[in-house]
């Protein structure tokens, strides 16, 4: 398996790149398309604290060592094609011995999801309508009325309070002096 890991490029761009270039890369690697996968995580490239997405793209090719003899033409292709999406491109290669590669392929499922084996889920014909009115309509008036009502238990000396005292000496936890309104 050959993995092409891309840093500093939007994952959707890498997805489109994978769609458009896997066949050509398979020819350059002298292998089948099934042996090539792309990795595009939501990781960013930074330089001195400044994010570099689509300015600096780093491409790392992880492949069995038998592909090392093809490196120059693959690097040239990757540099040329990724430069269509990024200002600067850097390509590195990491090779491994094939005996260090292990995988499990579930025979009950296709190896890859493709257009011809996608499960299409039918969407409902009913439009979910969003309420665009004022959900608080009438609440402002109720809130004002509630604020104007006398509060017998209140000793905060605010306008809504009929209390004559200058300071509150009560022990009532419900008193406005003890709670913020």
Q: What is the pLDDT of residues 114-144, one digit of tens each?
A: 777 777 777 666 667 787 888 888 888 787 7
| Whole-number CA gyration radius for the chain | 33
Q: Model confidence at 181, in pLDDT bands (50, 70, 90)?
A: very low
181 vs 179: CA distance, rounded Å: 6
* Domain map (residue ranges) of the chain: 2-100, 139-181
Which has more pLDDT, 63 or 171?
A: 63
Are 157 and 165 in contact, with CB atoms under 8 Å apart? yes
What pLDDT does 111 receive?
A: 77
CATH number for 2-100 (one of 3.30.429.10, 3.40.50.300, 3.20.20.70, 2.60.40.10): it is: 3.30.429.10
Poorest-confidence range of 44-48, 69-73, 75-79, 174-178? 174-178
User: Is the model's pLDDT at 153 over the cut of 90?
Assistant: no
Q: Given this model, what pLDDT does residue 112 score? A: 77
The secondary element (H helix, E strand) that includes residue 76 is helix 71-82
Which residue in the block uniquely carries the two structure tokens 């990491």? 94
pLDDT attached to residue 5: 97
Query: How far is the CA of 161 from the CAs of 139, 143, 147, 179, in angstroms?
Result: 22, 16, 10, 14
For residue 178, give every residue at least 6 positions away whose Cβ sits within 8 Å of its Cβ, in sequence order, or none. 172
Give the torsion through C-alpha atoms of 145, 148, 152, 153, to 10 deg. 90
- 40 touches 9 (CB < 8 A): yes
| CA angle (35, 40, 45) in 5-degree steps | 135
């Amino acid at each position: 398996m050959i993995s092409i890991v891309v840093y500093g490029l939007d994952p959707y761009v890498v997805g489109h790149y994978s769609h458009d270039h896997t066949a050509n890369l398979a020819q350059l690697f002298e292998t089948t398309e099934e042996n090539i996968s792309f990795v595009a995580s939501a990781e960013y490239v930074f330089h001195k604290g400044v994010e570099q997405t689509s300015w600096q793209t780093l491409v790392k090719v992880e492949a069995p060592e038998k592909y090392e003899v093809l490196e120059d033409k693959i690097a040239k292709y990757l540099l040329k094609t990724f430069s269509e999406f990024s200002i600067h491109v850097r390509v590195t290669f990491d090779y491994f011995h094939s005996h260090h590669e292990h995988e499990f392929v579930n025979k009950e499922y296709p190896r890859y999801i493709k257009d011809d084996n996608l499960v299409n889920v039918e969407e409902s014909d009913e439009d979910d309508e969003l309420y665009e009115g004022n959900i608080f309509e009438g609440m402002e008036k109720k809130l004002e009325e509630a604020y104007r009502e006398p509060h017998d238990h209140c000793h905060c000396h605010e306008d809504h309070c009929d209390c004559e005292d200058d300071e509150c000496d009560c022990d009532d936890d419900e008193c406005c002096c003890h709670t913020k309104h």
